[in-house]
A = this chain, B = another copy of it.
Protein backbone atom coordinates (compact mmCIF):
# COMPACT_ATOMS: atom_id res chain seq x y z
CA UNK A 1 0.00 0.00 0.00
CA UNK A 2 1.48 3.32 -1.03
CA UNK A 3 0.55 6.82 -0.04
CA UNK A 4 1.67 9.95 -1.81
CA UNK A 5 1.22 13.65 -1.43
CA UNK A 6 1.47 15.71 -4.58
CA UNK A 7 5.15 16.22 -3.81
CA UNK A 8 6.39 13.23 -1.84
CA UNK A 9 5.60 9.58 -1.33
CA UNK A 10 5.97 6.71 1.10
CA UNK A 11 5.35 2.99 0.74
CA UNK A 12 4.32 0.93 3.71
CA UNK A 13 4.74 -2.83 3.98
CA UNK A 14 1.84 -4.12 6.06
CA UNK A 15 2.98 -6.65 8.67
CA UNK A 16 1.20 -9.99 8.53
CA UNK A 17 -2.00 -9.94 10.55
CA UNK A 18 -2.17 -6.14 10.63
CA UNK A 19 -5.65 -4.80 11.40
CA UNK A 20 -7.26 -1.88 9.58
CA UNK A 21 -6.44 0.22 12.62
CA UNK A 22 -2.76 -0.80 12.45
CA UNK A 23 -2.61 0.07 8.76
CA UNK A 24 -4.29 3.45 9.21
CA UNK A 25 -1.87 4.25 12.02
CA UNK A 26 1.07 3.28 9.82
CA UNK A 27 -0.27 5.47 7.02
CA UNK A 28 -0.95 8.41 9.33
CA UNK A 29 2.64 8.15 10.65
CA UNK A 30 3.92 8.09 7.08
CA UNK A 31 1.92 11.24 6.30
CA UNK A 32 3.34 13.00 9.40
CA UNK A 33 6.85 12.02 8.32
CA UNK A 34 6.18 13.51 4.88
CA UNK A 35 4.91 16.71 6.49
CA UNK A 36 8.39 17.26 7.92
CA UNK A 37 9.59 17.67 4.34
CA UNK A 38 6.89 20.23 3.48
CA UNK A 39 3.15 20.94 3.53
CA UNK A 40 0.83 18.04 2.65
CA UNK A 41 -2.30 19.43 0.95
CA UNK A 42 -3.75 15.98 0.24
CA UNK A 43 -2.93 12.29 0.33
CA UNK A 44 -3.38 9.73 -2.47
CA UNK A 45 -3.50 6.00 -1.80
CA UNK A 46 -2.95 3.19 -4.31
CA UNK A 47 -4.47 -0.07 -3.14
CA UNK A 48 -4.33 -3.63 -4.57
CA UNK A 49 -8.10 -3.82 -5.00
CA UNK A 50 -11.16 -1.94 -6.19
CA UNK A 51 -12.49 1.31 -4.76
CA UNK A 52 -16.29 1.14 -5.10
CA UNK A 53 -17.40 4.35 -6.74
CA UNK A 54 -20.61 4.66 -4.73
CA UNK A 55 -19.20 4.45 -1.21
CA UNK A 56 -15.41 4.70 -1.59
CA UNK A 57 -15.01 1.29 0.08
CA UNK A 58 -12.23 -1.13 -0.80
CA UNK A 59 -13.42 -4.42 -2.37
CA UNK A 60 -11.62 -7.47 -3.73
CA UNK A 61 -8.46 -7.01 -1.68
CA UNK A 62 -7.33 -10.63 -1.07
CA UNK A 63 -3.77 -9.51 -0.37
CA UNK A 64 -4.85 -6.96 2.25
CA UNK A 65 -8.02 -8.40 3.80
CA UNK A 66 -7.95 -5.98 6.74
CA UNK A 67 -9.20 -3.15 4.51
CA UNK A 68 -11.93 -5.16 2.73
CA UNK A 69 -15.07 -3.02 2.92
CA UNK A 70 -13.26 -0.08 4.53
CA UNK A 71 -13.80 3.45 3.14
CA UNK A 72 -10.02 3.86 3.13
CA UNK A 73 -9.87 7.46 1.93
CA UNK A 74 -12.39 8.74 4.46
CA UNK A 75 -10.89 6.60 7.24
CA UNK A 76 -7.38 7.94 6.63
CA UNK A 77 -8.74 11.48 6.35
CA UNK A 78 -10.34 11.09 9.78
CA UNK A 79 -7.06 9.77 11.14
CA UNK A 80 -4.60 12.30 9.74
CA UNK A 81 -6.66 15.44 9.21
CA UNK A 82 -5.72 15.74 5.54
CA UNK A 83 -7.90 15.16 2.46
CA UNK A 84 -7.19 11.57 1.34
CA UNK A 85 -8.16 9.78 -1.89
CA UNK A 86 -7.79 6.11 -2.80
CA UNK A 87 -7.63 4.33 -6.15
CA UNK A 88 -6.94 0.88 -7.53
CA UNK A 89 -3.19 0.62 -8.13
CA UNK A 90 -3.45 -0.51 -11.77
CA UNK A 91 -5.90 2.31 -12.49
CA UNK A 92 -3.57 4.73 -10.69
CA UNK A 93 -0.66 3.49 -12.83
CA UNK A 94 -2.68 4.16 -16.00
CA UNK A 95 -3.43 7.68 -14.83
CA UNK A 96 0.25 8.20 -14.02
CA UNK A 97 1.39 7.07 -17.47
CA UNK A 98 -1.16 9.47 -18.95
CA UNK A 99 -0.03 12.33 -16.71
CA UNK A 100 3.75 12.05 -16.78
CA UNK A 101 4.66 8.84 -18.57
CA UNK A 102 4.27 6.97 -21.85
CA UNK A 103 0.92 8.60 -22.61
CA UNK A 104 1.59 12.21 -21.69
CA UNK A 105 1.22 13.31 -25.32
CA UNK A 106 -2.21 11.69 -25.90
CA UNK A 107 -5.73 12.01 -24.48
CA UNK A 108 -6.78 8.36 -24.28
CA UNK A 109 -4.90 5.18 -23.43
CA UNK A 110 -5.09 1.60 -22.29
CA UNK A 111 -2.42 0.42 -19.87
CA UNK A 112 -1.79 -3.33 -19.75
CA UNK A 113 0.40 -4.49 -16.86
CA UNK A 114 2.05 -7.91 -17.05
CA UNK A 115 2.90 -9.75 -13.85
CA UNK A 116 1.37 -12.48 -11.69
CA UNK A 117 -1.91 -11.18 -13.05
CA UNK A 118 -2.65 -9.12 -16.16
CA UNK A 119 -4.15 -5.83 -15.02
CA UNK A 120 -4.91 -2.57 -16.66
CA UNK A 121 -6.50 0.79 -16.65
CA UNK A 122 -8.27 3.12 -19.05
CA UNK A 123 -7.81 6.87 -19.37
CA UNK A 124 -10.21 8.89 -21.55
CA UNK A 125 -9.61 12.62 -22.04
CA UNK A 126 -7.02 12.63 -19.27
CA UNK A 127 -9.38 11.13 -16.67
CA UNK A 128 -9.58 7.60 -15.27
CA UNK A 129 -12.51 5.55 -16.52
CA UNK A 130 -13.61 3.31 -13.65
CA UNK A 131 -17.11 2.30 -14.74
CA UNK A 132 -20.31 1.99 -12.78
CA UNK A 133 -18.83 0.74 -9.53
CA UNK A 134 -15.08 1.06 -10.02
CA UNK A 135 -14.28 -2.29 -11.68
CA UNK A 136 -13.38 -1.07 -15.17
CA UNK A 137 -10.01 -1.78 -16.78
CA UNK A 138 -9.86 -5.55 -16.32
CA UNK A 139 -8.32 -6.25 -19.69
CA UNK A 140 -6.73 -9.43 -18.31
CA UNK A 141 -10.09 -11.15 -18.06
CA UNK A 142 -11.10 -10.87 -21.69
CA UNK A 143 -11.62 -14.46 -22.86
CA UNK A 144 -9.32 -15.26 -25.78
CA UNK A 145 -9.31 -19.10 -25.64
CA UNK A 146 -12.85 -20.55 -25.67
CA UNK A 147 -11.37 -23.93 -24.68
CA UNK A 148 -8.72 -22.48 -22.37
CA UNK A 149 -7.81 -23.31 -18.78
CA UNK A 150 -9.75 -22.17 -15.72
CA UNK A 151 -8.88 -18.66 -14.46
CA UNK A 152 -8.73 -17.39 -10.89
CA UNK A 153 -11.74 -15.20 -11.74
CA UNK A 154 -13.79 -18.40 -12.24
CA UNK A 155 -14.13 -17.89 -15.99
CA UNK A 156 -11.70 -19.68 -18.35
CA UNK A 157 -9.37 -18.88 -21.22
CA UNK A 158 -8.84 -15.30 -19.98
CA UNK A 159 -5.76 -13.42 -21.22
CA UNK A 160 -4.37 -13.76 -17.69
CA UNK A 161 -4.35 -17.58 -17.95
CA UNK A 162 -1.95 -17.24 -20.88
CA UNK A 163 -0.01 -13.99 -20.37
CA UNK A 164 0.12 -13.92 -16.56
CA UNK A 165 3.37 -15.31 -15.09
CA UNK A 166 1.74 -18.69 -14.38
CA UNK A 167 0.54 -18.90 -17.99
CA UNK A 168 4.07 -18.42 -19.38
CA UNK A 169 5.42 -21.16 -17.08
CA UNK A 170 2.58 -23.63 -17.78
CA UNK A 171 2.96 -23.25 -21.53
CA UNK A 172 6.75 -23.59 -21.32
CA UNK A 173 6.40 -26.78 -19.27
CA UNK A 174 3.94 -28.18 -21.80
CA UNK A 175 6.29 -27.40 -24.69
CA UNK A 176 9.35 -28.78 -22.83
CA UNK A 177 7.51 -32.07 -22.25
CA UNK A 178 7.55 -32.51 -26.04
CA UNK A 179 11.04 -31.34 -26.94
CA UNK A 180 14.22 -30.23 -25.20
CA UNK A 181 15.46 -26.65 -25.23
CA UNK A 182 17.99 -24.42 -23.48
CA UNK A 183 15.19 -23.96 -20.92
CA UNK A 184 15.21 -27.68 -19.95
CA UNK A 185 16.08 -27.91 -16.26
CA UNK A 186 16.14 -24.14 -15.77
CA UNK A 187 13.94 -22.21 -13.38
CA UNK A 188 11.07 -20.99 -15.56
CA UNK A 189 9.67 -17.48 -15.40
CA UNK A 190 8.87 -14.84 -18.02
CA UNK A 191 12.39 -13.37 -17.78
CA UNK A 192 14.23 -16.69 -18.32
CA UNK A 193 11.87 -17.48 -21.20
CA UNK A 194 12.43 -14.08 -22.84
CA UNK A 195 16.20 -14.49 -22.40
CA UNK A 196 16.08 -17.89 -24.10
CA UNK A 197 13.94 -16.46 -26.90
CA UNK A 198 16.60 -13.80 -27.40
CA UNK A 199 19.06 -16.65 -28.04
CA UNK A 200 16.71 -18.04 -30.68
CA UNK A 201 15.41 -20.98 -28.61
CA UNK A 202 12.40 -22.44 -30.44
CA UNK A 203 10.45 -23.43 -27.32
CA UNK A 204 10.90 -19.98 -25.78
CA UNK A 205 9.87 -18.30 -29.03
CA UNK A 206 6.74 -20.45 -29.15
CA UNK A 207 5.83 -19.36 -25.62
CA UNK A 208 6.51 -15.74 -26.49
CA UNK A 209 4.32 -15.98 -29.59
CA UNK A 210 1.49 -17.44 -27.49
CA UNK A 211 1.75 -14.55 -25.05
CA UNK A 212 1.69 -12.05 -27.91
CA UNK A 213 -1.31 -13.75 -29.56
CA UNK A 214 -3.37 -13.63 -26.37
CA UNK A 215 -2.47 -10.02 -25.67
CA UNK A 216 -2.93 -9.05 -29.32
CA UNK A 217 -6.42 -10.55 -29.43
CA UNK A 218 -7.43 -8.74 -26.26
CA UNK A 219 -5.88 -5.41 -27.20
CA UNK A 220 -7.51 -5.62 -30.66
CA UNK A 221 -10.89 -6.17 -28.97
CA UNK A 222 -10.31 -3.07 -26.84
CA UNK A 223 -9.20 -0.97 -29.83
CA UNK A 224 -12.11 -2.00 -32.07
CA UNK A 225 -14.43 -1.20 -29.20
CA UNK A 226 -12.86 2.07 -28.02
CA UNK A 227 -10.70 3.46 -30.86
CA UNK A 228 -7.94 4.54 -28.47
CA UNK A 229 -4.88 6.59 -29.28
CA UNK A 230 -2.24 4.74 -27.25
CA UNK A 231 -1.56 1.31 -25.73
CA UNK A 232 1.06 1.23 -22.97
CA UNK A 233 2.56 -2.11 -21.91
CA UNK A 234 3.91 -2.22 -18.37
CA UNK A 235 5.00 -4.70 -15.71
CA UNK A 236 8.33 -6.44 -15.18
CA UNK A 237 8.50 -8.39 -18.42
CA UNK A 238 7.63 -5.32 -20.50
CA UNK A 239 11.27 -4.37 -19.93
CA UNK A 240 12.11 -7.21 -22.35
CA UNK A 241 11.78 -4.60 -25.09
CA UNK A 242 11.08 -5.13 -28.80
CA UNK A 243 11.28 -8.94 -28.74
CA UNK A 244 7.98 -8.93 -26.84
CA UNK A 245 6.46 -5.54 -27.76
CA UNK A 246 6.91 -5.99 -31.52
CA UNK A 247 5.14 -9.37 -31.36
CA UNK A 248 2.24 -7.88 -29.38
CA UNK A 249 1.89 -5.05 -31.91
CA UNK A 250 1.95 -7.49 -34.86
CA UNK A 251 -0.69 -9.74 -33.27
CA UNK A 252 -2.86 -6.72 -32.51
CA UNK A 253 -2.54 -5.38 -36.05
CA UNK A 254 -3.81 -8.64 -37.58
CA UNK A 255 -7.06 -8.36 -35.60
CA UNK A 256 -7.78 -4.58 -35.64
CA UNK A 257 -9.58 -2.40 -38.20
CA UNK A 258 -6.81 -0.77 -40.26
CA UNK A 259 -8.09 2.77 -39.57
CA UNK A 260 -8.24 2.05 -35.84
CA UNK A 261 -4.81 0.39 -35.74
CA UNK A 262 -3.39 3.28 -37.78
CA UNK A 263 -4.61 5.78 -35.18
CA UNK A 264 -2.99 3.95 -32.28
CA UNK A 265 0.62 3.85 -31.14
CA UNK A 266 2.25 1.42 -28.71
CA UNK A 267 4.79 2.25 -26.01
CA UNK A 268 6.46 0.48 -23.11
CA UNK A 269 5.49 1.97 -19.75
CA UNK A 270 7.79 4.82 -18.71
CA UNK A 271 7.33 5.04 -14.96
CA UNK A 272 8.13 1.48 -13.90
CA UNK A 273 7.25 0.56 -10.35
CA UNK A 274 6.69 4.24 -9.47
CA UNK A 275 3.55 4.41 -11.61
CA UNK A 276 1.13 3.40 -8.86
CA UNK A 277 2.35 5.99 -6.39
CA UNK A 278 2.61 8.75 -8.99
CA UNK A 279 -0.95 7.97 -10.07
CA UNK A 280 -2.16 8.03 -6.48
CA UNK A 281 -0.70 11.53 -6.17
CA UNK A 282 -2.54 12.54 -9.32
CA UNK A 283 -5.79 11.11 -7.95
CA UNK A 284 -5.30 13.25 -4.84
CA UNK A 285 -4.48 16.36 -6.89
CA UNK A 286 -7.57 15.93 -9.07
CA UNK A 287 -9.76 15.11 -6.06
CA UNK A 288 -8.55 18.17 -4.18
CA UNK A 289 -9.18 20.47 -7.14
CA UNK A 290 -12.64 19.05 -7.72
CA UNK A 291 -13.53 19.29 -4.04
CA UNK A 292 -14.73 15.69 -4.37
CA UNK A 293 -15.49 13.46 -1.40
CA UNK A 294 -12.63 11.06 -0.59
Chain A interface residue count, Cβ-Cβ cutoff 8 angstroms: 48
Contacts of A257 in B (CB 8 A): 135, 138, 141, 153
* Contact (Cβ within 8 A) A227 B135: yes
Which residue on chain B has the smallest CB distance to residue A253? B155
Complex interface residues of chain A between 209 and 227 (CB less than 8 A to chain B): 213, 217-218, 220-222, 224-227
For the complex formed, measure the closest distance between the CB of A107 and the CB atoms of chain B, giving whole angstroms: 8
Residues of chain B within 8 A (CB-CB) of A60 are 259
Q: Is A260 an interface residue (CB 8 A)?
A: yes
A101-141 vs B: 1/0 string, CB under 8 Å? 00000011000000000000010100001111111111101
Q: A59 contacts the other chain (Cβ, under 8 Å)?
A: yes
**Is A89 part of the contact surface with B, judged by Cβ < 8 Å?**
no
Let me know if A255 and B225 touch, CB within 8 A.
no
Is there a chain B Cβ closer than 8 Å to A97's Cβ?
no
- Which B residues are CB-close (under 8 A) to A256? 155
Q: How far is the CA of A224 from the CA of B134 in the complex (A)?
A: 11
Contacts of A139 on B, CB cut-off 8 Å? 224-225
- Least Cβ–Cβ distance between A14 and chain B, in angstroms: 24
Given contacts A108-B131, A213-B146, A255-B143, contact A137 B220 (CB under 8 A): no
Q: Which A residues from 54 to 72 make CB contacts under 8 A with B?
A: 59-60
Interface residues of A (CB under 8 A from B): 50, 59-60, 107-108, 122, 124, 129-139, 141-146, 153-155, 213, 217-218, 220-222, 224-229, 254-260, 263-264
> Are A146 and B145 touching (Cβ within 8 A)?
yes
Known: A226-B136, A228-B131. A254 touches B213 (CB 8 A): no
CB closest chain-B residue, reference A130 = B227
Shortest distance in angstroms between A223's beta carbon and chain B's nearest beta carbon?
9
Question: Complex Cα distance A277/B188, Å?
Answer: 57
What residue in chain B is nearest A260 (Cβ atoms)? B135
Contacts of A131 in B (CB 8 A): 108, 226-228, 260
A221-B146 in contact given A135-B227, A263-B132 (Cβ < 8 Å) = no
Chain B, Cβ-Cβ closest to A131: B227
Q: Across the interface, do B226 and A129 meet the contact criterion of CB distance under 8 Å? A: yes
Which B residues lie within 8 Å of A263 (CB)? 132-133, 135
Q: Once bound together, how far apart are the Cα atoms of A263 and B130, in whole Å? A: 13
Rounded to whole Å, the gap between the CB of A95 and the closest CB of chain B is: 16
Across-interface contacts of A143 in B (CB, < 8 A): 144, 217, 220-221, 255
Residues of B within 8 A of A218 (CB): 221
Q: Show 25 residue pairs from A and B whose CB-CB distance is below 8 angstroms, ordered by the A residue.
A: A50-B259, A107-B132, A122-B225, A122-B226, A124-B129, A129-B226, A130-B227, A131-B228, A132-B229, A132-B264, A133-B259, A133-B263, A135-B257, A138-B224, A138-B225, A138-B260, A141-B224, A141-B257, A142-B225, A143-B144, A143-B217, A143-B221, A155-B220, A218-B221, A221-B221
